[in-house]
C-alpha cells in the first residue's frame, strides 16, 4: 500500500509543479489556449495520444470489447493507430495548422465561424462542444474511480472530487503548455505501464501460449469453440463499428484536432505523425490486447451482476486485483494506477481546456469586447465550472448502477461530436464548394441521431424494424451512422445550396500555396 501512495504523491507533485512552471506561457489567450503555436513534435504527438487514450479506453472499452470480441479487439487498437493517428495526422495535420493560423482561429467552432463566414454556426458549434464533452468527462471520472476504489478502498465520490480538483488546478495555472508537458510525462508512464501490465496478466495465466489455449476453450454461445481467439472474433460487424467510431471519429473531436493548431511547423507535423502512430500501436494495441483475455475472469466475483448482466467496468480492475496474490503484484497495480491516472488526467485537461476556451472565445467574447486578462479569467472560471458539472454527473451516475456504463457514455459523446463535426471540418479544409447549409445539415443530423439513440435506450421510443433496433441499441453503432451519414450528406447538400463568394474562397485557400522566406541556414546545406 505504501508504494501506491508514494508513486501517487510523486505524480501529483509533478503535475502541479508543471502547472506552475508553465504559467509563463499563459500570459495571454494565444499562449493559454495554443501554447503560442510553438509546440514541438514530441509534445504534440504525446498530447494527441494521451488525450486519445484514457481510463475510458483502459477500463471501459478494453473490458467491454475484450469481453465481446476476445483477442480480435486488438484490431480496435490497430485501427486507432493507423486510422485515428497516422491518417488523421497525414490528412488533417498540415492543412489544419495552416488554415487555422490563416483564419486566426483558436478553436473548432471559431474555425467553422470564419471558414464559412457565419457567426451562428460558430455559436451552435460551441454549444454542441460544451454539452457533449460533459458525458465524455464524466465517463473518465467513472473509470478512474472504479480503479481507485479497487486499489485503495476509497469511496467513489471522494476519488472523483480529488481528481477534479487536481485537474482543475494545473490547467487553471498553466493552460495548454502545462497540459502538453504533463502529457509527455504521462505518455512515458503509459508506455511503461501498459507493457508491464500485459506481461503480468499473461504470466498469471501461464504465459502467452497457455492463455491463448484457455481462451480458445470458451464457448461464445454458438456451440463452437475458438471464437474469442479467431482473427475477427464472434461479431465482425460490431467490431468494425467500434473500429470506425473510435478511429475515424477522432477526426471530428475538437480536443484532438486542437493539437494540430498548436504544433510548431510543417517539419514537426511529419515527425509528430510517426511518433503518434507508434505511441498508439503500443498503448491502444496493448489495452485492447489485454482486454481480449477478459473471458478468463468470467467466474470472478463482481463480473456478473445480480440481473445476469456483465459489469464491464469491473473487468479490468478484477484482472488487476488477481495480481495481489504475488509479491510483486502491488507494484504492478501501483504502476497501473499511475498509468490510468496519467492517461485520464491528460484527457481531462484537454477536455476542460477545449470546453472553457470554446465557451469564452466563441460564445461570450463575440458579444462584448473583452480584454486579454478578462478572457483568461473567464476561461479559468469556466474550467472550474465544467469540471464541477462533470464530477456531479459522475457521482449521480453511481447512484444508478444499471443506468449506463463507461463505453456508452463515451459513445454518446463521440457519436454526437464526430457526427456533427467530422464532415464539415474535413471538407472545409479541402473543398471550396462546402456550403453553410451543408454544415447546418451535418450538425442537425449528428445531434438528431444521438437524441434518437438516447430516447431509444431510455425506452421513450421503440422500433419494430430489426435493422433500426440493431443500429440504435448501441451508441457506438448509432455514432457510426451519424458520422458516415454526415460524410455522404455534406457534398450532396453542398451541390444544391448557395456557394460562398469565389474571391473570398480563393483568398482563403491560397494560404496552402503561400511562399514564405526562411533564414539562409535553413535553405543551404553546410559545406
Residue 119 domain-assigned (yes or no): yes
The answer to whether the beta carbons of residues 194 and 283 sit under 8 Å apart is yes
Residue 271 domain-assigned (yes or no): yes
Taken as a whole, the chain contains a residue count of: 527
The answer to whether the beta carbons of residues 260 and 92 sit under 8 Å apart is yes
Into how many domains does the chain fold? 1
Residue 22 domain-assigned (yes or no): yes
DSSP assignment of 386-421, as one string? Answer: HHHHHHHHHHHHHT-TTS--HHHHHHHHHHHHHHHH
Residue 504 domain-assigned (yes or no): no
Residue 210 domain-assigned (yes or no): yes
Name the burial class of residue 278, with classes exposed (0-12), middle (13-18) and buried (19+) by CB atoms within 10 angstroms of its CB: middle
DSSP character at residue 231: S
Residue 485 domain-assigned (yes or no): no
Angle at which helices 119-152 and 406-430 cross, to 10°: 150
The answer to whether the beta carbons of residues 205 and 297 sit under 8 Å apart is no
CA–CA dist 99, 519 (Å, integer): 23
Residue 486 domain-assigned (yes or no): no
C-alpha to C-alpha distances, 145 to 6, 12, 151, nearest whole angstrom: 19, 16, 10
> Shortest CA distance to 418 belongs to which of 346, 491, 478, 338?
478
DSSP assignment of 290-312, as one string? Answer: HHTTGGGGTTSTTSB-TTS-B-G
C-alpha cell at 459: 425506452
The answer to whether the beta carbons of residues 150 and 65 sit under 8 Å apart is no
Domain that residue 356 falls in: 2-395
C-alpha cell at 126: 460551441
Domain at 202, CATH number:
1.20.1730.10
* Full pLDDT tens readout for the chain, 527 residues: 666 677 777 777 777 777 666 666 555 666 666 666 667 788 888 888 887 887 677 777 888 888 889 899 999 999 999 999 999 999 999 999 899 889 888 888 889 999 999 989 988 998 888 888 877 777 666 666 666 666 666 676 777 777 778 777 767 766 767 777 777 887 888 888 889 889 999 998 889 899 999 998 887 766 567 888 888 888 888 889 889 888 998 898 888 888 888 888 778 888 999 999 999 999 999 999 999 998 888 888 778 777 777 878 788 888 888 887 887 777 787 777 777 776 667 677 777 777 777 777 666 665 556 677 777 787 778 778 877 877 777 677 666 555 555 556 667 888 889 899 999 999 999 999 999 999 999 999 999 999 998 888 878 898 888 888 888 888 888 889 999 999 999 999 999 999 988 898 998 898 888 765 445 444 444 43
The answer to whether the beta carbons of residues 449 and 412 sit under 8 Å apart is no
Amino acid at each position: 500500500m505504501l508504494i501506491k501512495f508514494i508513486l501517487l504523491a510523486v505524480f501529483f507533485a509533478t503535475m502541479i509543479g508543471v502547472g506552475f512552471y508553465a504559467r509563463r506561457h499563459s500570459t495571454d489567450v494565444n499562449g493559454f489556449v495554443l501554447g503560442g503555436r510553438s509546440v514541438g513534435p514530441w509534445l504534440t504527438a504525446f498530447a494527441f495520444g494521451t488525450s486519445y487514450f484514457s481510463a475510458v479506453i483502459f477500463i471501459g472499452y478494453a473490458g467491454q470489447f475484450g469481453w465481446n470480441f476476445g483477442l480480435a479487439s486488438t484490431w480496435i487498437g490497430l485501427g486507432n493507430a493507423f486510422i485515428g493517428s497516422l491518417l488523421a495526422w497525414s490528412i488533417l495535420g498540415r492543412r489544419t495548422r495552416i488554415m487555422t493560423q490563416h483564419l486566426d482561429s483558436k478553436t473548432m467552432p471559431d474555425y467553422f465561424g470564419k471558414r464559412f463566414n457565419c457567426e451562428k454556426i460558430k455559436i451552435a458549434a460551441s454549444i454542441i462542444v460544451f454539452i457533449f464533452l460533459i458525458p465524455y468527462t464524466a465517463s473518465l471520472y467513472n473509470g478512474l474511480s472504479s480503479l481507485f476504489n479497487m486499489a485503495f478502498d476509497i469511496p467513489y465520490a471522494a476519488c472523483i472530487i480529488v481528481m477534479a480538483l487536481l485537474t482543475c488546478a494545473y490547467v487553471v495555472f498553466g493552460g495548454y503548455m502545462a497540459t502538453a508537458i504533463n502529457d509527455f510525462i504521462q505518455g512515458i508512464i503509459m508506455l511503461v505501464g501498459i507493457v508491464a501490465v500485459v506481461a503480468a496478466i499473461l504470466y498469471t495465466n501461464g504465459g502467452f501460449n497457455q492463455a491463448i489455449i484457455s481462451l480458445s476453450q470458451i464457448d461464445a454461445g454458438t456451440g463452437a469453440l475458438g471464437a474469442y481467439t479467431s482473427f475477427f472474433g464472434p461479431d465482425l460487424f460490431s467490431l468494425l463499428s467500434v473500429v470506425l467510431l473510435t478511429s475515424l471519429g477522432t477526426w471530428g473531436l475538437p480536443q484532438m484536432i486542437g493539437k494540430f493548431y498548436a504544433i510548431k511547423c510543417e517539419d514537426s507535423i511529419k515527425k509528430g505523425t510517426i511518433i503518434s502512430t507508434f505511441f498508439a500501436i503500443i498503448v491502444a494495441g496493448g489495452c485492447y490486447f489485454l482486454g481480449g483475455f477478459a473471458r478468463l475472469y468470467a467466474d470472478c466475483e463482481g463480473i456478473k451482476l445480480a440481473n445476469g448482466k456483465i459489469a464491464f467496468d469491473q473487468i479490468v480492475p478484477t484482472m488487476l486485483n488477481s495480481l495481489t496474490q504475488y509479491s510483486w503484484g502491488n507494484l504492478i497495480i501501483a504502476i497501473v494506477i499511475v498509468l490510468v491516472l496519467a492517461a485520464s488526467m491528460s484527457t481531462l485537461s484537454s477536455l476542460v481546456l477545449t470546453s472553457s476556451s470554446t465557451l469564452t472565445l466563441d460564445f461570450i467574447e463575440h458579444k462584448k469586447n473583452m480584454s486579454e486578462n478578462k478572457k483568461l479569467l473567464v476561461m479559468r472560471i469556466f474550467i472550474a465550472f465544467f469540471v464541477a458539472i462533470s464530477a456531479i454527473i459522475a457521482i449521480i451516475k453511481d447512484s444508478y448502477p444499471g443506468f449506463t456504463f463507461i463505453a456508452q457514455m463515451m459513445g454518446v459523446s463521440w457519436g454526437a461530436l464526430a457526427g456533427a463535426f467530422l464532415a464539415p471540418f474535413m471538407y472545409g479544409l479541402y473543398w471550396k464548394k462546402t456550403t453553410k447549409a451543408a454544415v447546418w445539415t451535418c450538425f442537425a443530423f449528428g445531434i438528431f441521431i444521438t437524441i434518437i439513440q438516447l430516447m431509444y435506450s431510455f425506452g421513450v421510443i421503440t422500433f419494430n424494424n430489426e435493422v433500426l433496433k440493431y443500429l440504435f441499441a448501441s451508441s457506438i453503432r448509432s455514432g457510426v451512422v451519424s458520422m458516415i451519414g454526415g460524410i455522404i450528406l455534406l457534398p450532396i447538400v453542398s451541390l444544391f445550396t448557395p456557394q460562398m463568394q469565389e474571391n473570398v474562397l480563393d483568398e482563403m485557400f491560397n494560404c496552402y500555396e503561400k511562399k514564405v522566406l526562411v533564414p539562409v541556414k535553413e535553405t543551404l546545406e553546410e559545406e
